[in-house]
Structure 1
Amino acid sequence: MLPLRLIRGGAPLTQLPRLLVVAAAGSVGFLLLCALSYALNHPGDAGVAVPRLLWCLVPLAATVQLAALVARTAPGPRTRAALDAVGLGATGLPLLAALQTAVFCLLGSALALLVYLHLRGDVVGLPFDGAAAELVAAGRPLPVVATLTLLLVVPLVAAGATALSLRATAARRAAHPQPPALDRAGPPLPLPVGLSYGTALIGVGIALETYAARGTGAPVPLPGAGTGPGPGVVTGWLLTALGLVLAGPGLTQLAGRLLAAARPGAMRFLAGRILQEEAPHIGAPLGVLCAAGCGLIAASHLYGPDRPLGPLTVLGGLVVVGCAVAGVCTAVAGSRAALAPARAALAQLGATRELLRGAAALRVAAVLAVLTPVTWGVAQLAALPLT
């Protein structure tokens, strides 16, 4: 009952990220059920049904990333201290967060099932004059075991990822306690090793995609028409997206270094140091947002008005983009809360609001100046072999 009490006792503003997790989990559950419906309508066409199911892994990964991020930033310092006082330390907090995440995702899966059954006409008859009958396999018996299995995929995966993420975060905090960068003098922080690994993965992914797409001569079909893309192309895309996520913290910290370089003034120095401190927290969500933007740019090159996207493709794209944007906003809010004592100390030292607001605007500009050309360049390289 403790997870439910903590959910009920949260402030209204803290419920918004959780509602986004519910909506994302429900959307992924609906996509999985629609993939099952296609398999029911085409029992002998496994060559197309399986890729449709595999395409659901992309919004599933985005949803799991958002759920784990919300779980890491949801408990405030007071709540975390109170839970530590009652014995929920490094072991109990990940379990509690996993249970909360499972509750949100189960709620989303239940909503997805209700919408799915309504479109099938199992509740009050076929809605919309049967326009969605083919999409949800209306009129065909629904396998109960397969349906429940697909609906439990999102809660189980999200809960497991949340528990592992919080355990890793707790281990890092225990092994490397560091004061904020604003309270520490010395050289800039070293760039994360993920920058080199991420860059290498991006190169490998684009090379693999280029090799696998030789001789296709046409855009790779999305899960709305035709056969699915080959495994080499999909693997190349996934490696490229993973590379962007791994390189996100390094690119963000590099933006902070550039901002504080060349004899900076007080505003630029403050903005650069804060951005370097925020990089481990907001870098990975920014990398996810770059990967989503890269996919949108590449899709705009491959598909135009003469090749309209299907409703399931649009829904999956909205889930990925929505989770990426929500993840960045959640990470920024969590980082802002973590740096609140440092900002209070700066205010006591005489820092004005104009200085702090100017530093925040410089951080946003620096991140956009570094990540925008990277996203555009990777998208162009990813789309080039398929045009």
Structure 2
Amino acid sequence: MLALRLARGAHPLVLLRRLMVAAASAGVGFLLLCTLMYALSHPEDSAAVVRLLWCGLPLATTVYLAVTVARTDPGTRPRPGLFAVGLGPFRLCALAAASTALTCTLGSMVALLFFLHLRGDLSGLPFDGAAAGMLAAEQPLPLPATLTLLALVPLLATVATAVVLRPRAAAPDAEESSGTPGGLPWGITLVALGLAVETYTSDGRADDRPAGVLAGWALTAVGLWLVGPGVTHLCGRLLQSVRPGATRLLAGRILMAESRRLGPPLGVMCAVASGAVTATAAYGSAPQPWSPLTTLGATLVVVCTATTLLTTAIEVRGARSEATTALRIVGAPATILRRAAALRAGVLVTVFVPLTLTVGALAAAPLTR
């Protein structure tokens, strides 16, 4: 009940983020239900399992978006006076998890209603049964399997939120004194392993062994997610190299301080963009017809990834607001702050765009031979 009241009284931007999570949850639920009905109507087709595996991509990006929105929610942050009324760190973590569960469950309910409406099971509304053939309206809808698939997003998002936001022992000095984030070597290893798996399992086209291609791309995506903080940290060091001035020094220090927060969504965006480069290179000469469900899945992945990156950027900007105010108080010109922001954006684009194109080209090489 408290989570519902906080959701009703939240800022419009926070409500918009939660609405995005609910919409993404609805889209993933609809994809899972469509995959279920395809498997029931085509029991002899082994591609149904592959379709279910491909649904894991929008599922993962939706869970990642839900965790990011929960982490940036001001209603679940520790504030003075909350501990006195019984809202300590553990209660706030449980509140964030409950809000995530409520938002994702709402999206799953919308997905079920929309699915039943397009099948023609619900009448009295426009477009009744408009997709009855595609959704196998002649097949009965199994209730246990339906509820299990619809519970995937709320369950995974709630567990992930509770794990990420769980109270930890504060050790700010150790975190500030560490060097480059430690995930860089592991990320490079996973990227190389993912490219190797994709090269080994593919035979000239991604349609021949889609499960192997999916496994290779998943490993590459996880590797880029781990690489993101380290690359962002190195971008900050790059800005401060060769006798830096005040602007480059400020921009580099900010990138190094924000690498742990901004790096992971940058790595995920790099993975999604490299996947798009791979698909373009593999099917550029022979365009493949995209079904509505494929378009929906790709749209979910891109929108969720972009929203996660934008939400994280807003979060880190708010986190350094006090430092920005202090710089203005001591007389720092506004032009220096704007130039520092432009330098940060420029060096990130300069480094991550070639990385994306390189990974995409290497992933597309075995698919175009």
TM range (shorter): over 0.9
- Displacement of 1:130 in angstroms is 5.6
Asked if residue 102 in structure 1 is aligned to residue 101 in structure 2, the reply is yes
2:206 counterpart of 1:220: yes
2:322 corresponds in structure 1 to 341
Partner of 1:185: none
Aligned partner of 1:176 in structure 2 is: 171
Say if 2:28 is the partner of 1:42.
no
| Residue in structure 2 matching 1:205, options 194, 201, 204 | 194
Pick from 309, 319, 324 the counterpart of residue 305 of structure 2: 324
Alignment deviations for residues 102-143 of structure 1 (CA, whole Å, 9 cap, x no partner): 011011111111110111011127965965223211122111
Match of 2:275 among 274, 288, 295: 295
For 2:339 and 2:125, how far apart are their aligned partners in 1? Answer: 56
2:14 is aligned to: 14
Task: Note the 1:51-130 alignment, pairs <5 A.
Answer: 51-75=50-74, 80-124=79-123
**Structure 2 counterpart of 1:310, one-letter code:** S
Write the letter of the residue equivalent to 1:176: A
Q: Check the 8 A contact 2:119/2:136 in 1, yes or no.
A: yes
Secondary structure (helix, strand or coil) at the match of 2:82 reads: helix
Q: CA deviation at 1:303?
A: 2.3
Deviation at 1:84, TM superposition (A): 3.4
* Distance in 1 separating the partners of 2:5 and 2:337: 37
Quote the Cα distance in structure 2 between the aligned partners of 1:228 and 1:61: 22
1:234 offset after TM fit, Å?
Answer: 2.2
Q: AA paired with 1:155?
A: P
Q: Which residue of 2 aligns with 1:195?
A: 184
Distance 1:63 1:128, change over 3 A: same
Q: Give TM-score scaled by structure 1 length.
A: 0.90
Would you say the 8 A contact 1:48–1:228 is kept in 2?
no
Answer whether contact 1:245 1:287 (CA < 8 A) is retained. yes
Are 1:257 and 2:243 an aligned pair? no
Structure 2 stretches lacking a partner, 5+ long: none
Unpaired runs of 5+ residues, structure 1, are 182-187, 222-226
Give the % identical residues: 53
In 1, are the aligned partners of 2:227 and 2:267 still within 8 Å (CA)? yes
Read off the aligned partner of 1:299 and give its amino acid letter.
A
Deviation readout 1:286-345 (Å, 9 max, x if unpaired): 111111111111111122463122211111111111111101111111111111111111
Please state how far the C-alpha of 1:228 moved relative to its aligned partner: 6.0
Q: How many angstroms apart in 2 are the aligned matches of 1:240 and 1:12?
A: 36
Map of 1:223-302 to 2, 5 A cutoff? 229-230=210-211, 232-302=212-282
Contact 1:119 1:132 in 2 (8 A): yes
Question: Which range moved further: 122-131 or 23-32?
Answer: 122-131
SS, match of residue 39 in structure 2? helix
For residues 218-261 of structure 1, the C-alpha deviation after alignment (integer angstroms, 9 at most, x for no partner) is x213xxxxx7613x332211110000000010111111111121
- C-alpha distance 127-307 of structure 1, shift in aligned 2 (>3 A): farther
Q: What do you get for the CA RMSD once the two structures are aligned?
A: 2.1
